[in-house]
Structures are given as structure tokens and as C-alpha cells.
Amino acid sequence: MRKFLASAKFLAGTAASAVLFSGAAARADQPREWEVSFQAPATDMMRQIERFGNYTMWFIVPITVLVLVLLLVCIVKFRASANPVPSKTSHNTLIEVIWTVGPVIVLLLIAI
């Protein structure tokens, strides 16, 4: 067990020093105050990640706004003073299909 721990520590130290002294750290940009986006990309992979993040933002914002609007509609429409006798409805197949198929479509659009 001690040999394993010694070799694990050696491997961790070697990996840490490789990262510390690699050339990739020299090309990394520094964060700036009040920066809300990614730092300047140093590699092609980071450029792709940044593009994917910007692409998915076009899905995130409308979905968030839609959920906020639906929440506000439900708060106003189904408040206790407007509906003193609550509905006895337990299932709505159309709504269940929509909230199952909707996210699948969004994920397919993101994957394309």
C-alpha cells in the first residue's frame, strides 16, 4: 500500500509539474474584472467550446423566458382568489406529450 501511495504521489507531482511548465500555460489569457464571457481562446478546442456556448445561448434564453412567462401566467390565473374551487383534473395527455417531446426536439437541434 505504501508503494502504491508513493508511486501515486510521484505520478501526481510529475503531472502537476508537466502542466505547470508546459507551453499552454504561457498562451493562456488572464481574467479581467467584470468579465462575463470566456477568456480569449488559446486553442482550437476552446474556440469550438466558445462557439458551442454561444450557440446554446440561443436556446437557453428563449426557454428561460418561456418558463418565466408560463410561471407568471400560472401564478395569476390559478391563484386562490380567482379559483376558490380547484380543478379535479389529474392528467392532461397533450401537456405530458409536449413536455416530453419538446426537450427531445431541443436536444436534437443542439446536436445538429
Who's near 110: CB < 8 A, 6+ residues apart?
Answer: 55, 56, 59
Do 60 and 109 contact (CB within 8 A), yes or no? no
**31 lies in some domain:** no
**19 lies in some domain:** no
User: How many structural domains are present in the chain?
Assistant: 1
Give the pLDDT confidence score for residue 66 in this predicted structure. Answer: 93
**63 lies in some domain:** yes
**88 lies in some domain:** no
**90 lies in some domain:** no
Please give the residue range of the domain that contains residue 71: 42-80+105-112
Per-residue pLDDT of the chain (112 residues; tens, 9 = 90+): 777 777 888 888 888 777 677 665 556 667 778 878 888 888 999 999 999 999 999 999 999 999 999 999 989 988 888 888 877 777 889 988 998 999 999 999 989 8
Give the pLDDT confidence score for residue 27 in this predicted structure. Answer: 61
